[in-house]
């Protein structure tokens, strides 16, 4: 088990550390660490680039979200593929643990990237990509929760926190009813909820004070 675990940690961290938000923003002449919330995550990139470049900037922000999610999906999925290909036959029954370690390493890499002086995003998109591999039904429920909360409040942070909190609830329910996903996934989803809440502690403070930024729809006049 030692070799697959070490490989999963190293690959997961460096995949997660790829600073797509910073690179994409910098390509447009924007230092994302000096704009908006000064966070290189997809939400801040989307907000900042949309304000500066309109629809092209919005598409770039969406691209960053997809790329960040892809990091988590690859970091989580490649150990499972290696097991299926027979690379680590002796440890096949522990594929879920190795994949979860890969996801955890990717989250740490994203939030504390060695390429940007250990500054990074909050891990929502990267975590979503990983959980899509591990438990797609629960992630789809989380996406529905995110959409409802965001459409109701226009707070991305609140939507992200509540969507993540729905993961352990839905995954535990499925485990109790059908014995799937593995209980290790249920545990890590609960850990992810705490992790995301801690990463959003400043947002939680602003939500409680009523000073959190909203994603406000522009009027037709503002778009012109």
pLDDT digits (tens, 9 = 90+) for 2-58: 888 899 999 999 999 999 999 999 999 999 999 988 999 999 999 999 999 999 999
pLDDT greater than 90 at residue 214: no
Mean pLDDT, residues 131-143 taken together: 92
Q: Reduced to 3 states, what is the DSSP secondary structure of residue 38?
A: coil
Break the chain into its structural domains and give their ranges.
Answer: 1-130, 135-216
How far, in Å, are 111, 131, 213 from residue 202 at the CA level? Answer: 15, 25, 12
138 CA to centre of own chain = 14
Average pLDDT in the chain = 89
Looking at residue 93, what is its pLDDT?
66
pLDDT greater than 50 at residue 202: yes
Mean pLDDT, residues 115-121 taken together: 93
Confidence of residue 219 (pLDDT cuts 50, 70, 90): very low
Looking at residue 188, what is its pLDDT?
86
pLDDT greater than 80 at residue 170: yes
Query: Residue 60 is encoded by which pair of tokens?
Result: 């770039």
Where helices occur in 34-90 by DSSP H, the ranges are: 42-53, 55-84
Tell me the pTM. 0.86
Q: How many residues does the chain have?
A: 224
Q: What is the DSSP letter of 54?
A: S
Looking at residue 221, what is its pLDDT?
46
pLDDT greater than 60 at residue 85: yes
38 φ, ψ to 5°? 65, 30
Contact 63, 24 (CB under 8 A): yes
CA-CA-CA-CA dihedral for 188, 190, 192, 197, to nearest 10: -160
Cβ partners under 8 Å of residue 82, min gap 6: 4, 88
**For residues 206 and 184, which has the higher predicted lDDT (pLDDT)?**
206
Looking at residue 223, what is its pLDDT?
46
58 CA to centre of own chain = 18
Mean pLDDT, residues 125-153 taken together: 93
Cβ partners under 8 Å of residue 23, min gap 6: none
Looking at residue 224, what is its pLDDT?
43
pLDDT greater than 70 at residue 136: yes
**For residues 173 and 80, which has the higher predicted lDDT (pLDDT)?**
173
Mean pLDDT, residues 119-130 taken together: 92
């Amino acid at each position: 088990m030692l070799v697959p675990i070490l490989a999963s940690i190293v690959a997961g961290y460096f995949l997660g550390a790829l600073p797509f938000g910073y690179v994409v923003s910098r390509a447009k002449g924007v230092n994302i660490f000096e704009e908006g919330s000064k966070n290189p995550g997809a939400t801040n990139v989307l907000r900042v680039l949309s304000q500066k470049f309109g629809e092209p900037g919005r598409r770039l922000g969406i691209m960053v979200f997809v790329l960040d999610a892809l990091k988590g999906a690859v970091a989580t999925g490649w150990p499972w593929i290696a097991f299926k290909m027979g690379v680590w036959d002796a440890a096949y029954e522990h594929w879920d643990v190795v994949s979860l370690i890969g996801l955890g390493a990717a989250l740490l890499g994203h939030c504390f990237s060695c390429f940007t002086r250990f500054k990074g995003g909050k891990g929502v998109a990267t975590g979503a990509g990983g959980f899509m591999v591990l438990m797609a039904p629960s992630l789809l429920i989380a996406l529905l929760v995110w959409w409802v909360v965001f459409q109701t409040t226009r707070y991305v942070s609140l939507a992200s926190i509540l969507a993540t909190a729905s993961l352990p609830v839905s995954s535990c329910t499925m485990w109790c009813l059908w014995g799937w996903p593995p209980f290790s996934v249920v545990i890590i989803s609960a850990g992810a909820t705490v992790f995301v809440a801690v990463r959003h502690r400043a947002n939680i403070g602003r939500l409680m004070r009523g000073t959190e930024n909203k994603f406000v729809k522009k009027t037709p006049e503002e778009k012109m």
